A and B are shown apart, each in its own frame.
Chain A
Amino acid sequence: MERPHEIDRYIELASPFHSFDPRAKIVSFLFLILSIVLLRDLKLCFVGFFIALLFLFFSKVPLRFFISYMRWIFPFVSLFVVIMPFTVEGKEIFSLYNLKFTYEGLKYGTIIALRATSAAILVFVVVSTTRFADIMKALYELKVPNLLIQMLMFSHRYVFVLQEEAQKMLIAMRSRGFDIGTNLYSLRNLGRAIGMLFIRSYERADRVYHAMRARGYGGKPEVLTEFTMRAKDWALSLFIFTISISLHTLVVP
């Protein structure tokens, strides 16, 4: 039953980002992301992308782990590079069945793709170097609405329970001769099983709420946090803020 806590798998590593105060980490990374996604120049976008990659490198999180997450984002991002050149007016590079492939389109597509990928990389660095519980606590300290934090927390906690229940259900179905096919019969039964899963989660939600009420829950749980900003946290934050601002103030040659 011991399952690696997926996204928390590499939080035990030692890197400047691992020991970075979670609150400062979230705020400064968000600022850097904001700065990168607001870039309009292609060259600067490449610089931003390079910075994100450097951050990833310094986080010491294995590349393979990073790619296993990025492959979900890649198809969406690459769509821009493929579609934009055909939709934006501009200098033609070549044409395909009367569709013009333009230089401007390629440029804008690449800018969007670079911004999105850089943002995703930076979010990944934050999430993979911080214990999930600490992210929640940091958000709490940063005065993010309690309701939102609770929703995040419960999703994270119960997605595993739900996954386990779905797996058990599927095994129970298979053990009685059910094979997943693309025919109507199998889809109908899968639909029923998913319906049951919803009902079960609804009932579980009821029981969890009872358990929370019984322990004095009144809608706004307090969270015990123990974060302290040290000199190096301030320094690292300042460094990231400086990069973010320089991206917009430096003149592009």
Chain B
Amino acid sequence: MKAIEVKNLSYAYPNGTKALEEVSLEVEEGETVAIVGPNGAGKTTLLLNLTGILKPKKGKIELFGGDITQMSNIDISKNVGIVFQDPDDQLFMPTVFDDVAFGPMNLGYSKEEVKERVKRALTSLSLVGYEEKCPHCLSYGEKKKVSLATVLSMQPKVLLLDEPTANLDPRSRAELIKLIKKLKGEVTIVIATHDVNAIPEIADRVYVLNKKIIAKGRPREIFMNFDLLRKNGLDAPEIMKLFYVLECFGYDCDELPLSIDEAIQELTRVVETRDGHIHLHIHEHTHKNMEKLRKLDHHD
């Protein structure tokens, strides 16, 4: 079943700036989809439209087959949860507990149910013991995790994440990616992100958005298209670029690995099928292919 179906959605801000033009996309239930695009491409605007907070100028949005404009705010909140980029926007109650309880309380659950949900959400993010802390006393990474908890406690079927890994230190980033991987499959996830290195690990499919949908496909299809990435101010995962360089120098590889895990698989395969021998050489396309990568790296 389709969790989200967007048909020809157009949106303009009150001052007339066009943010989205004829955007169509589909997300299957249980799928994890990444939306990439440069700053100001309309990623956040798209997510806000999916929560019914912004109303589309034109086009239609369906959640699990139902028209979003016909649903009440509570109905939408039960289905879709959004985590905003800035945790200071997301956390507004005096304590972590109250913030995580805010959503379930609004949905009208009983006291016991609310407490149970808060406990479950905090436990799943290893935030037990943070209940009485005040949001502004937390570190940025902790705030980000609590933000996620405030939405998980509502147990939405669809999770929208706006730049979940932006501005985080490496450990917090790794932790957050691990959490998303844990949620993957249990809920439908839509992630707006610039973090191309994280996408292969978490996303099943990628949409490239730049006011319009420029391209869609599996991560590998998108990342192999250097021309598309360059035109839209994007980048490919570092691991993939490294293996691309190796390929330019004669390394034989069917599919470029996109993540560390895939690189390990690829190299294991080399050990098993070719006794671990890699023969590198400069061939006629070496320089031409390297030039493509250079162009992507320098965006000129």
Complex-state Cα separation, A91 to B53, whole angstroms:
70
B137 on the A face (CB < 8 A) = yes
Q: Of A2, A161, A215, which one neighbours B102 at CB under 8 angstroms?
A: A215
- Nearest Cβ in chain B — how far from A103, in angstroms? 49
Contact B94 A214 (CB under 8 A): no
| Chain B residues, Cβ within 8 Å of A5 | 134, 136-137
What 0/1 readout, one digit per residue, does chain B (129-150) give for beta carbons within 8 Å of chain A?
A: 0001011110110000000001
Contact B93 A157 (CB under 8 A): yes
B201 on the A face (CB < 8 A) = no
A179 on the B face (CB < 8 A) = no
| Chain B residues, Cβ within 8 Å of A131 | 132
Complex-state Cα separation, A207 to B94, whole angstroms:
18
A contacts with B, residue count (CB < 8 A): 32
Complex-state Cα separation, A239 to B103, whole angstroms:
40
B33 on the A face (CB < 8 A) = no
A218 on the B face (CB < 8 A) = yes
B191 on the A face (CB < 8 A) = no
B98 on the A face (CB < 8 A) = yes
In the complex, the chain A residue whose C-beta lies closest to that of B135 is A157
Contact B154 A156 (CB under 8 A): no
Q: Of A3, A212, A214, A216, which one neighbours B107 at CB under 8 angstroms?
A: A216
Q: A5-B134, A132-B94, A213-B73 are in contact. Are A208 and B105 (CB under 8 A)?
A: no
A94 on the B face (CB < 8 A) = no
Q: A132-B94, A218-B106 are in contact. Are A3 and B77 (CB under 8 A)?
A: no
Which of chain B's residues 64-90 have a Cβ closer than 8 Å to chain A? 73-74, 77-78, 80-82, 84, 86, 88-90
| Chain A residues, Cβ within 8 Å of B53 | 210, 213-214
In the complex, the chain B residue whose C-beta lies closest to that of A157 is B92
Which of chain A's residues 197-214 have a Cβ closer than 8 Å to chain B? 204, 207-208, 210-214
Contact B134 A217 (CB under 8 A): no
- Nearest Cβ in chain A — how far from B13, in angstroms? 12
| Chain A residues, Cβ within 8 Å of B111 | 224
| Chain A residues, Cβ within 8 Å of B94 | 132-133, 136, 153, 156-157
Contact B150 A215 (CB under 8 A): yes
Complex-state Cα separation, A35 to B84, whole angstroms:
49
Contact B154 A216 (CB under 8 A): yes
A178 on the B face (CB < 8 A) = no
Please indicate which of the listed interface residues B48, B77, B78, B92 has the most CB atoms of chain A within 10 Å of its own CB.
Answer: B92
Complex-state Cα separation, A224 to B104, whole angstroms:
10
| Chain B residues, Cβ within 8 Å of A223 | 98, 105
B101 on the A face (CB < 8 A) = yes
Contact A2 B137 (CB under 8 A): yes
In the complex, the chain B residue whose C-beta lies closest to that of A165 is B88
Contact A208 B92 (CB under 8 A): yes
Complex-state Cα separation, A8 to B95, whole angstroms:
12
Which of chain A's residues 155-213 have a Cβ closer than 8 Å to chain B? 156-158, 160-161, 204, 207-208, 210-213
Complex-state Cα separation, A221 to B106, whole angstroms:
6
Complex-state Cα separation, A8 to B137, whole angstroms:
12
Contact B137 A221 (CB under 8 A): no
A1 on the B face (CB < 8 A) = yes
Please indicate which of the listed interface residues B81, B105, B114, B154 has the most CB atoms of chain A within 10 Å of its own CB.
Answer: B105
B151 on the A face (CB < 8 A) = yes
In the complex, the chain A residue whose C-beta lies closest to that of B74 is A216
In the complex, the chain A residue whose C-beta lies closest to that of B139 is A1
Q: Of B84, B135, B137, which one neighbours A207 at CB under 8 angstroms?
A: B84
A154 on the B face (CB < 8 A) = yes
| Chain B residues, Cβ within 8 Å of A157 | 91-94, 135-136
| Chain A residues, Cβ within 8 Å of B136 | 3, 5, 157, 160-161
- Nearest Cβ in chain B — how far from A131, in angstroms? 8
- Nearest Cβ in chain A — how far from B146, in angstroms? 13
Q: List 21 A-B contacts (CB under 8 A).
A: A1-B140, A3-B137, A153-B93, A153-B94, A157-B135, A161-B88, A204-B89, A211-B82, A211-B90, A211-B92, A212-B102, A213-B53, A214-B51, A214-B80, A215-B106, A216-B78, A216-B106, A217-B73, A218-B106, A221-B102, A224-B115
Using CB atoms and an 8 Å cutoff, list the residues of chain B in contact with chain A: 48, 51, 53, 73-74, 77-78, 80-82, 84, 86, 88-95, 98, 101-103, 105-107, 111, 114-115, 132, 134-137, 139-140, 150-151, 154
| Given A153-B94, A216-B103, A224-B101, 7 extra CB contacts under 8 A | A132-B94, A160-B136, A161-B88, A210-B84, A216-B73, A223-B105, A224-B98
